[in-house]
Amino acid sequence: MKARLFRLPGVTMEARRGGSAAESLSHQDIDITSELWRRAPEGADSLEEVGAMQRIADIVSADPDQVYQVCAQVALELSSSDSAAVSLCEDGPAGGVCRWAGLAGEIEGLALSPLRRAKSPVAVCVERGEALLLRRPDEAISELGGGPVLFEALLVPFGAAGSGLEGAIWVMAREEAKRFTAEHARMLERVALFTTTTLHLAQVARVAMSRAEESDLRYRELDHRIKNILTLTVSLLRRQISETPVPEAREAIEAASARVSALGSLHSLEGEGTSGNLESIISSIGKVLVEPDERFRLHLDVEPVAIAPHRAATVALILSELIINAMKHALGERETGTITVRLARGDEGEAILSVSDDGEPLPGDIKGTPSGMGLGLLDQLARHMGGAMQVESEPKTFSVRFPVD
C-alpha cells in the first residue's frame, strides 16, 4: 500500500537508522493518514472520557496555566499511547514557531526545541482542519530527534486557523503493535473541542467579571453574550447527537447538553442575585430539563436552603445528573410518569437532595451505593462536595447528602 507523500521541503537530517545522511524530507513518505479509516476501531469508554473532561474543566477553573499539561495527560491515558503533547503556534520571524505547551509520557521532561511553524506537521494539521497520521516522525522532524524512537504519531487540530488559538494534540507510539485508528482521532477531536470551548467560556467569564466593575450596562451586555454562548453550545451538542451513530456516544453527548443547560440556568440566577438559593436552582433546572418533555410531570418538595454561590455549580450538576437518570429509566412501558425532587435539611447542618420517580422499582439487590449503575460521575461530584450518594430500591430514590456551611 502506497502512503500519501508528506513533503517538508528544504530540511535535511541524519537518519536514526544506520547513522548515514538522510535524503531531503521531500523524499520521505511519512503521511499515512488514509490508513486511519482502514483500521478496525477500538471500543470507546465513554465514562472514562467524561471523567477526563471533568479533569480538564476542574483545572481550567483552578489553574488555567496547567490546562495544556493536563490535556496532554488526558490524551495519553485515553489513547493508551506512549507519549502525548500539546503544541501551540505563535507568530514571529520566519513564520513563527509551534512551542510545546504540554508533554506527557516518555517525552515528559525532555527539552524539545520549538517546531518551525511553516515547515511543521502542526501547520498542515491546522490548515486541513483534520487529523494527521505520520509514520516514523522522529526520522522526519529534527526537533523530535532527541526523544524516543517513534513508530507513529497522530495529530488532531487544537483550535482553528484564525481563531487566535492554533495548534495540535499529539499522541505517539514507539512500537508497531500500537496503531492509531479513526476512533482515536475522533476521541482526541472531542477532547480538543471540549478544552478549547472550556477555555473560551472561562475567558469570557473573566472578561465579564472585570467589565462588570466598570458599569452595570456593560455587565448586562456581556451577560447576554455568555447566555448566547451557552445556548449555542447546547445547540451544537444536540446537533452532534443526530450525527452520532454510536448509542453510548449519543448518551454521553445528551448528558453533556443537559449539564450545560443546567449551568446556563445557574448563570441566569447569578444575574438575578439568587445563585446561592437552592430552591431557585432546583426550580429552574427542573423546569429546563423536565417541562419540555410532555411525557413527564415534575413535583417539587423543597425547603429553603442557602449555599455558597461558588458551590452552586456542583449542586446544579448533581441535580441535572439525578434528573437525567430518572428520565432515562422512569417510564418503562408506560407513556407518562412523575419525577419528584425533594430538598430537606438534615439533623447535622447538611442538606439532602433526592430525586425519585413512579416507574419500575430497582432490583432488590441494590445495597445503597452507585457502584455498577453508571453513576460514577455523580458519586465523584458528591464526594467533591464533602458528601455522599445513597441509592434506595424501595421506594426508588437517588439522594445526595452534603454540608451547606
In tens, the pLDDT along 340-387 reads 999 998 877 788 999 988 877 776 555 555 544 456 777 888 888 888
Per mean pLDDT, which of 10-24, 175-189, 315-329 is the most reliable?
Answer: 175-189
Task: Tell me if residue 68 falls in helix, strand or coil.
Answer: helix
Taking the model in full, what pTM does it have?
0.47
In tens, the pLDDT along 115-124 reads 888 778 888 8
Could you give the strand order of the β-sheet that contains 396-403, starting from the edge strand earlier in sequence?
296-302, 337-345, 350-357, 396-403, 388-393
More confident residue, 331 or 403: 403
CB 275 within 8 A of CB 263: no
CB 166 within 8 A of CB 156: no
| Span between the terminal Cα atoms of the chain, in Å | 65
Using the structure block, give the residue that is written with the C-alpha cell 482542519.
129
Question: If you ran DSSP here, which 8-state letter would residue 254 be given?
Answer: H
In tens, the pLDDT along 214-272 reads 655 554 554 555 555 555 565 556 566 566 666 666 566 666 666 666 666 555 555 54
Confidence of residue 84 (pLDDT cuts 50, 70, 90): very high
Question: If you ran DSSP here, which 8-state letter would residue 363 be given?
Answer: P
Q: State residue 4's pLDDT score.
A: 37
CA distances to 284, 312, 346 from 275, rounded to whole Å, are: 11, 7, 21
Amino acid residing at 63: D
Q: State residue 168's pLDDT score.
A: 92
Confidence of residue 128 (pLDDT cuts 50, 70, 90): confident
Mean pLDDT of 297-311: 84
| CB neighbours of residue 220 within 10 Å | 12
Confidence of residue 74 (pLDDT cuts 50, 70, 90): very high
Asked whether the predicted pLDDT for residue 52 surpasses 60, the reply is yes
Burial of 61 (0-12, 13-18, 19+ CB in 10 A): middle
Q: Domains in the chain, please, with CATH?
A: 25-190 (3.30.450.40), 214-403 (3.30.565.10)
Rg of the chain in Å (alpha carbons)? 24
User: In 119-181, which ranges are continuous DSSP H helix?
Assistant: 121-128, 137-140
Q: State residue 359's pLDDT score.
A: 77
CB 327 within 8 A of CB 316: no
CB 404 within 8 A of CB 305: yes
Q: State residue 258's pLDDT score.
A: 65
